């Protein structure tokens, strides 16, 4: 007989069907040469900047393949701190930064360090699909506060205030949001900061898409609450470096020291040649972010225009990022069925909005950060499919 597993396995299990199954099916079909268009995952159809690749190759050839510091090299941490200061106005140094294996790892570390069994952590629904499992790693219970379509996917701040209990330890937020693309306003950030300050709560701000917001900035809760905020960011989206796994946490020095001990247990340092390449990426962030931002905005506008007038769907225009929500309630079928039937009929893969929460259960999420001709073709296929229903 197999010995019992930890209760952790139930906390990290998918809620319902595997949200990525259709995406991986589409990737397999692409590899097999089939005529499909994957719009189901946020991996921009751009190349990593050439100077970043060149530096990685140079450092590989220089044998930069040995152990490194668990928190990351000081030069890289200092560059990240400088970029964070410039973007947010928050006063930080390299001691406030830890380099981790992607923003996803940063979220995991944060969840483990600031919550425990019996605690509650709050996030907004809809949320990124990994949040339910990730935020419960430390054993806390996830409490969802609606950011409903009726509020254009902005959070219900009255519901947030009501959701806070003596067991609440943290509020997790993402701005711009995945999947909605909503950017929290200054007023919303201030309201969240007031609640966190009043109740002595941690705030974890996922700003992976911040560089794709207008002018590459979002209102910063870290600058408002520096001793209670952990900011998570990465190079994945802004620099087309999803596979490089380059992310970081910015927060109070004491917490970063604890995070370093977690990193020591999990990764024992990250590759030196990757860190040197990441340093180059951070140094050319202004150009890289501007290029990706322009690419995504142009694709957003193109796809939004191409979907106007499509029968039985309503398109939600995002503030920023690389995702668009399509309301499919008028089709008479569920979002999950819509995604599967669209793929089987037309070979366009999208994600069932239920993967992101109750508030998007009647939506599908589409990634538009891809080739313009493919986007236009996908729009035609979606139009044809909807007309057939």
pLDDT value at position 17? Answer: 64
Class of domain 8-47+287-388 as given by CATH? alpha beta
Q: What is the CA radius of gyration of the chain?
A: 21
Domain 50-284: CATH architecture, name and number where available: 3-Layer(aba) Sandwich (3.40)
Burial class (CB in 10 A: 0-12, 13-18, 19+), 2: exposed
State what percent of residues in the chain have pLDDT above 70.
99
pLDDT value at position 258? Answer: 97
Mean pLDDT of 314-326: 97
CB 161 within 8 Å of CB 171: no
Given a cut of 90, whether residue 138 has pLDDT beyond it is no
Q: Name, in order, each residue with C-beta under 8 angstroms of 113's C-beta and a sequence gap of 6 or more.
A: 138, 255, 258, 259, 262
Mean pLDDT of 69-96: 98
Q: Model confidence over 277-316: pLDDT tens digits?
A: 999 999 999 999 999 999 999 999 999 999 999 999 999 9
Q: 0.75 exceeded by the pTM?
A: yes
Domain ranges of the chain: 8-47+287-388, 50-284
List own/partner pairs for 108-112 with CB under 8 A and 24 or more apart: 108/134, 108/137, 109/249, 109/259, 109/262, 109/263, 110/202, 110/204, 110/230, 110/232, 110/249, 110/259, 111/135, 111/136, 111/137, 111/138, 111/140, 111/204, 112/137, 112/138, 112/262
pLDDT value at position 212? Answer: 97
Calculate the average pLDDT of the chain: 96
Mean pLDDT of 133-138: 90
- What residues pair up with 38 in beta bridges, in sequence order? 349
Place of tokens 């992607």: 102
Least confident piece of the model among 9-13, 107-111, 133-137, 166-170: 9-13
Q: Model confidence over 5-40: pLDDT tens digits?
A: 888 888 888 776 677 889 999 999 999 999 999 999
8-47+287-388 and 50-284 share one fold: no
Q: Residue 28 and residue 19: Cα distance in Å, rounded? A: 16
């Amino acid at each position: 007989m197999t010995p019992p597993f930890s209760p952790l396995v139930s906390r990290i299990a998918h809620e319902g069907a595997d949200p990525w199954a259709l995406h991986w099916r589409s990737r397999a079909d692409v590899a097999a040469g089939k005529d499909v268009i994957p719009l189901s995952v946020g991996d921009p159809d751009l190349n990593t900047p050439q100077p970043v690749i060149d530096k990685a190759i140079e450092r590989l050839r220089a044998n930069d393949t040995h152990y490194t510091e668990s928190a990351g090299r000081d030069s890289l941490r200092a560059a990240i701190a400088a970029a964070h200061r410039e973007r947010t106005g928050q006063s930080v140094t390299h001691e406030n930064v830890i380099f981790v294996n992607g923003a996803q790892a940063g979220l995991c570390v944060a969840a483990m360090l600031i919550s425990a069994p019996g605690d509650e952590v709050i996030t907004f629904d809809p949320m990124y699909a990994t949040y339910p499992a990730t935020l419960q790693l430390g054993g806390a219970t996830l409490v969802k506060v609606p950011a409903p379509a009726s509020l254009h996917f902005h959070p219900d701040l009255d519901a947030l205030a009501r959701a806070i209990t003596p067991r609440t330890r943290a509020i997790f937020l993402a701005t711009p949001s995945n999947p909605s693309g909503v950017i929290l306003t200054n007023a919303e950030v201030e309201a969240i900061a007031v609640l966190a300050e009043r109740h002595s709560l941690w705030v974890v701000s996922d700003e992976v898409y911040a560089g794709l917001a207008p002018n590459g900035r979002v209102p910063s809760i870290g600058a408002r609450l520096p001793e209670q905020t952990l900011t998570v960011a990465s190079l994945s989206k802004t620099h087309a470096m999803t596979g490089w796994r380059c992310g970081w946490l910015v927060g109070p020095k004491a917490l970063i020291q604890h995070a370093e001990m977690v990193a020591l247990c999990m990764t024992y340092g990250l590759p030196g040649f990757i860190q040197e390449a990441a340093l180059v990426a951070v140094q050319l962030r202004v150009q890289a972010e501007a290029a990706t931002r322009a690419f995504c905005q142009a694709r957003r506008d193109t796809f939004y225009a191409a979907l106007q007038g499509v029968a039985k769907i309503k398109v939600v225009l995002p503030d920023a990022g690389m995702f668009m929500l399509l309301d499919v309630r008028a089709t008479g079928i569920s979002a999950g069925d819509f995604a599967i039937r669209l793929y089987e009929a037309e070979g366009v893969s999208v994600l069932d909005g239920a993967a992101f929460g109750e508030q998007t259960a009647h939506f599908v999420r589409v990634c538009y950060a891809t080739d313009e001709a493919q986007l236009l073709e996908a729009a035609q296929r979606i139009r044809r499919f909807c007309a057939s229903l």
